[in-house]
Amino acid sequence: RKSDGAFDITVGPLVQVWRRARRQRELPTMDVIAEAKTRVGWEKVVLDPRTHTAKLLVPGMRLDLGSIAKGRALDEALRVLREHGIKCALVTGSGDMAIGDPPPGRAGWRIELAPLDAPGAPPTRFLSLRNCGFATSGDLFQHVELGGKRYSHIVDPHTGLGMTDHSLVVVIAPDCLTANSLSTTTCVVGPRRGLALVESTRGASARVTRKPDERVEATESPGFARFYEK
Protein backbone atom coordinates (compact mmCIF):
# COMPACT_ATOMS: atom_id res chain seq x y z
CA ARG A 1 0.00 0.00 0.00
CA LYS A 2 2.80 2.43 0.86
CA SER A 3 4.27 1.98 -2.62
CA ASP A 4 0.85 2.16 -4.32
CA GLY A 5 1.43 -1.30 -5.78
CA ALA A 6 4.93 -0.61 -7.14
CA PHE A 7 6.24 -3.30 -4.79
CA ASP A 8 4.15 -6.42 -5.39
CA ILE A 9 5.22 -10.01 -4.80
CA THR A 10 2.49 -11.26 -7.18
CA VAL A 11 4.48 -9.86 -10.12
CA GLY A 12 5.68 -13.41 -10.94
CA PRO A 13 3.75 -13.80 -14.25
CA LEU A 14 5.33 -10.61 -15.60
CA VAL A 15 8.79 -11.63 -14.39
CA GLN A 16 8.36 -14.88 -16.33
CA VAL A 17 7.43 -12.93 -19.47
CA TRP A 18 10.59 -10.83 -19.26
CA ARG A 19 12.84 -13.76 -18.42
CA ARG A 20 11.58 -15.41 -21.59
CA ALA A 21 12.23 -12.17 -23.50
CA ARG A 22 15.84 -12.12 -22.28
CA ARG A 23 16.37 -15.75 -23.27
CA GLN A 24 14.79 -15.38 -26.69
CA ARG A 25 15.97 -11.80 -27.21
CA GLU A 26 12.51 -10.87 -28.41
CA LEU A 27 10.30 -8.09 -27.07
CA PRO A 28 7.02 -9.47 -25.65
CA THR A 29 3.83 -8.29 -27.33
CA MET A 30 1.45 -6.00 -25.47
CA ASP A 31 -1.17 -8.78 -25.62
CA VAL A 32 1.17 -11.14 -23.77
CA ILE A 33 1.91 -8.47 -21.18
CA ALA A 34 -1.78 -7.61 -20.78
CA GLU A 35 -2.67 -11.27 -20.21
CA ALA A 36 0.07 -11.66 -17.59
CA LYS A 37 -1.15 -8.51 -15.80
CA THR A 38 -4.56 -10.12 -15.23
CA ARG A 39 -2.77 -12.53 -12.88
CA VAL A 40 -0.95 -9.79 -10.94
CA GLY A 41 -2.16 -7.80 -7.95
CA TRP A 42 -1.61 -8.04 -4.19
CA GLU A 43 -5.36 -7.60 -3.64
CA LYS A 44 -5.82 -11.02 -5.29
CA VAL A 45 -4.10 -12.71 -2.32
CA VAL A 46 -5.97 -13.63 0.86
CA LEU A 47 -3.86 -14.23 3.97
CA ASP A 48 -5.14 -16.38 6.82
CA PRO A 49 -3.20 -15.55 10.01
CA ARG A 50 -4.86 -18.45 11.83
CA THR A 51 -3.54 -21.15 9.49
CA HIS A 52 -0.53 -19.16 8.22
CA THR A 53 -1.60 -19.73 4.63
CA ALA A 54 -2.03 -17.59 1.52
CA LYS A 55 -4.74 -18.18 -1.06
CA LEU A 56 -4.20 -16.97 -4.63
CA LEU A 57 -7.59 -16.02 -6.06
CA VAL A 58 -6.77 -16.09 -9.79
CA PRO A 59 -5.57 -19.24 -11.61
CA GLY A 60 -2.02 -18.95 -12.88
CA MET A 61 -0.87 -16.44 -10.28
CA ARG A 62 2.78 -16.72 -9.26
CA LEU A 63 4.58 -15.17 -6.31
CA ASP A 64 8.06 -13.74 -6.83
CA LEU A 65 9.86 -13.06 -3.55
CA GLY A 66 13.16 -12.05 -5.16
CA SER A 67 12.91 -8.48 -3.87
CA ILE A 68 12.34 -9.42 -0.24
CA ALA A 69 13.23 -13.04 0.60
CA LYS A 70 16.97 -12.55 0.26
CA GLY A 71 16.93 -9.73 2.79
CA ARG A 72 14.90 -11.81 5.23
CA ALA A 73 17.25 -14.79 4.84
CA LEU A 74 20.32 -12.64 5.50
CA ASP A 75 18.69 -11.08 8.57
CA GLU A 76 17.87 -14.54 9.92
CA ALA A 77 21.43 -15.76 9.32
CA LEU A 78 22.81 -12.79 11.25
CA ARG A 79 20.29 -13.40 14.05
CA VAL A 80 21.47 -17.02 14.41
CA LEU A 81 25.10 -15.89 14.56
CA ARG A 82 24.25 -13.40 17.29
CA GLU A 83 22.38 -16.07 19.26
CA HIS A 84 25.60 -18.09 19.23
CA GLY A 85 27.62 -15.17 20.53
CA ILE A 86 29.07 -14.07 17.20
CA LYS A 87 28.45 -10.32 17.21
CA CYS A 88 31.12 -9.16 14.74
CA ALA A 89 29.68 -10.47 11.50
CA LEU A 90 28.63 -9.53 7.99
CA VAL A 91 26.34 -11.85 6.03
CA THR A 92 26.12 -11.20 2.30
CA GLY A 93 24.14 -12.59 -0.61
CA SER A 94 24.40 -11.27 -4.17
CA GLY A 95 25.58 -7.87 -2.94
CA ASP A 96 22.98 -7.36 -0.21
CA MET A 97 24.15 -7.50 3.39
CA ALA A 98 22.99 -7.96 6.97
CA ILE A 99 25.65 -6.24 9.03
CA GLY A 100 26.46 -6.73 12.71
CA ASP A 101 29.13 -5.24 14.95
CA PRO A 102 32.29 -4.09 13.14
CA PRO A 103 35.61 -5.94 13.29
CA PRO A 104 37.73 -5.23 16.38
CA GLY A 105 39.36 -1.82 16.26
CA ARG A 106 37.18 -0.60 13.38
CA ALA A 107 34.34 1.91 13.40
CA GLY A 108 32.44 -0.08 10.79
CA TRP A 109 32.64 -2.57 7.93
CA ARG A 110 34.22 -1.03 4.82
CA ILE A 111 31.74 -1.41 1.96
CA GLU A 112 32.50 -0.40 -1.62
CA LEU A 113 29.85 1.74 -3.29
CA ALA A 114 30.43 0.90 -6.93
CA PRO A 115 29.52 3.50 -9.57
CA LEU A 116 26.80 3.22 -12.18
CA ASP A 117 28.16 1.56 -15.32
CA ALA A 118 27.89 4.71 -17.42
CA PRO A 119 30.35 7.39 -18.57
CA GLY A 120 30.31 10.40 -16.25
CA ALA A 121 28.99 8.48 -13.26
CA PRO A 122 30.25 9.52 -9.80
CA PRO A 123 33.42 7.62 -8.83
CA THR A 124 33.66 4.69 -6.43
CA ARG A 125 33.10 5.63 -2.79
CA PHE A 126 33.39 3.63 0.41
CA LEU A 127 30.90 3.36 3.25
CA SER A 128 31.48 2.52 6.91
CA LEU A 129 28.54 0.45 8.17
CA ARG A 130 27.57 -1.33 11.38
CA ASN A 131 24.39 -2.96 12.73
CA CYS A 132 22.23 -2.31 9.68
CA GLY A 133 20.99 -3.73 6.41
CA PHE A 134 22.44 -2.80 3.00
CA ALA A 135 20.85 -3.51 -0.38
CA THR A 136 21.32 -2.51 -3.99
CA SER A 137 18.98 -2.74 -6.96
CA GLY A 138 19.58 -1.99 -10.61
CA ASP A 139 20.03 -3.45 -14.06
CA LEU A 140 23.81 -3.89 -14.18
CA PHE A 141 23.82 -7.70 -14.30
CA GLN A 142 20.30 -8.47 -15.50
CA HIS A 143 19.06 -6.56 -18.53
CA VAL A 144 18.40 -7.04 -22.20
CA GLU A 145 18.62 -4.65 -25.14
CA LEU A 146 15.68 -4.98 -27.51
CA GLY A 147 14.79 -2.59 -30.29
CA GLY A 148 17.59 -0.25 -29.26
CA LYS A 149 16.26 0.07 -25.70
CA ARG A 150 17.68 -1.39 -22.48
CA TYR A 151 15.14 -3.25 -20.31
CA SER A 152 15.83 -4.21 -16.69
CA HIS A 153 14.82 -7.47 -15.01
CA ILE A 154 12.89 -5.28 -12.55
CA VAL A 155 9.30 -5.00 -13.76
CA ASP A 156 6.77 -2.24 -13.07
CA PRO A 157 3.60 -4.09 -11.96
CA HIS A 158 1.42 -1.23 -13.26
CA THR A 159 2.74 -1.13 -16.83
CA GLY A 160 3.99 -4.70 -17.08
CA LEU A 161 7.21 -3.42 -18.67
CA GLY A 162 10.82 -3.95 -17.65
CA MET A 163 12.27 -0.70 -16.32
CA THR A 164 14.19 1.36 -18.89
CA ASP A 165 15.53 3.98 -16.47
CA HIS A 166 19.17 2.82 -16.25
CA SER A 167 19.77 3.16 -12.51
CA LEU A 168 21.55 1.95 -9.39
CA VAL A 169 19.79 2.28 -6.04
CA VAL A 170 21.54 1.78 -2.69
CA VAL A 171 19.54 1.63 0.54
CA ILE A 172 20.78 1.44 4.13
CA ALA A 173 18.12 0.52 6.69
CA PRO A 174 17.82 -1.02 10.17
CA ASP A 175 17.58 -4.49 8.60
CA CYS A 176 18.26 -6.06 5.22
CA LEU A 177 14.63 -7.00 4.55
CA THR A 178 13.64 -3.34 4.71
CA ALA A 179 16.63 -2.23 2.62
CA ASN A 180 15.92 -4.95 0.04
CA SER A 181 12.27 -3.99 -0.48
CA LEU A 182 12.95 -0.23 -0.52
CA SER A 183 15.72 -0.51 -3.11
CA THR A 184 13.50 -2.44 -5.54
CA THR A 185 10.58 -0.09 -4.98
CA THR A 186 12.75 2.97 -5.61
CA CYS A 187 13.92 1.48 -8.92
CA VAL A 188 10.28 1.26 -10.00
CA VAL A 189 8.89 4.59 -8.77
CA GLY A 190 11.98 6.75 -9.44
CA PRO A 191 14.09 8.96 -7.18
CA ARG A 192 11.50 11.54 -6.15
CA ARG A 193 8.85 9.13 -4.87
CA GLY A 194 11.41 6.51 -3.89
CA LEU A 195 13.47 8.81 -1.68
CA ALA A 196 10.28 10.16 -0.10
CA LEU A 197 9.31 6.59 0.79
CA VAL A 198 12.79 5.88 2.14
CA GLU A 199 12.77 9.04 4.25
CA SER A 200 9.39 8.08 5.71
CA THR A 201 10.89 4.76 6.85
CA ARG A 202 12.53 4.97 10.26
CA GLY A 203 16.33 4.69 10.08
CA ALA A 204 16.52 4.36 6.28
CA SER A 205 18.67 6.31 3.82
CA ALA A 206 19.29 5.92 0.10
CA ARG A 207 21.31 7.03 -2.88
CA VAL A 208 19.97 6.88 -6.44
CA THR A 209 22.26 7.13 -9.47
CA ARG A 210 20.52 7.08 -12.83
CA LYS A 211 21.03 7.87 -16.49
CA PRO A 212 17.62 8.85 -17.87
CA ASP A 213 19.18 10.19 -21.08
CA GLU A 214 22.69 11.37 -21.90
CA ARG A 215 23.41 12.73 -18.43
CA VAL A 216 24.02 10.96 -15.13
CA GLU A 217 22.14 12.11 -12.03
CA ALA A 218 22.95 11.23 -8.40
CA THR A 219 20.49 11.97 -5.60
CA GLU A 220 20.78 11.14 -1.91
CA SER A 221 18.43 11.28 1.03
CA PRO A 222 19.59 13.79 3.68
CA GLY A 223 21.05 11.21 6.07
CA PHE A 224 23.04 9.17 3.56
CA ALA A 225 26.26 11.20 3.68
CA ARG A 226 26.95 10.22 7.29
CA PHE A 227 27.74 6.68 6.14
CA TYR A 228 30.64 7.70 3.89
CA GLU A 229 34.01 6.53 5.14
CA LYS A 230 35.84 9.37 6.84
Domains of the chain, CATH where assigned: 69-227 (3.10.520.10)
pLDDT of residue 31: 98
d(CA 176, CA 157): 23
Q: Are 164 and 86 in contact (CB under 8 A)?
A: no
| Cα 20-137-165 angle, rounded to 5 deg | 70
User: Is the pLDDT assigned to residue 215 strictly greater than 90?
Assistant: no
- Model confidence pLDDT, tens digit, residues 162-205: 998 889 999 999 999 999 999 999 999 999 999 999 999 999 99
Strand order in the sheet with 96-99: 90-93, 96-99, 132-138, 166-173, 205-211, 217-220
Task: Tell me the percentage of the chain whose pLDDT exceeds 90.
Answer: 80
pLDDT of residue 68: 93
- Report residue 226 CA to chain centroid gap: 22
